[in-house]
Amino acid sequence: DTGVSQDPRHKITKRGQNVTFRCDPISEHNRLYWYRQTLGQGPEFLTYFQNEAQLEKSRLLSDRFSAERPKGSFSTLEIQRTEQGDSAMYLCASSQGGAGNSPLHFGNGTRLTVT
């Protein structure tokens, strides 16, 4: 078990640029989640996948955000035309779906700074 891996760890970008983050979940986990955490706050749910299907999206996920999990393994989160308000830690988590005994395993996150 190598854990959930996220890349890059840090990203600094200028306002208006596009950025893409990658998440590699634990290999046997079929569910993958994206959360956003701003300074001094707890994580907020953005979206989740079961295998390759994106099953739920938060209202926090504006049209500038898109997430994919094309083969049901790794996932990407893209932010287009970044804004300063997008600066946050983006956390990925995975779990083995099913009943309630499947806690989330989080990656170390990608910290985005928009200048």
Q: Which residues bind to other proteins, rule: CB under 8 A? A: 4, 31, 33, 40-45, 48, 55-56, 91, 93, 95, 100-109
Asked if the bond preceding 70 is cis, omega within 30° of 0, the reply is: no
Compute the distance between CA of residue 96 and CA of residue 30 in angstroms, rounded to an integer.
5
- List the structure tokens of 45: 């749910």
Q: How far is the CB of 55 from other proteins (least distance, A)?
A: 8
Q: How far is the CB of 15 from other proteins (least distance, A)?
A: 24
Q: How far is the CB of 3 from other proteins (least distance, A)?
A: 9
- Residue 95 Cα to chain centre, angstroms: 14
40 vs 70, which CB is nearer to other proteins?
40
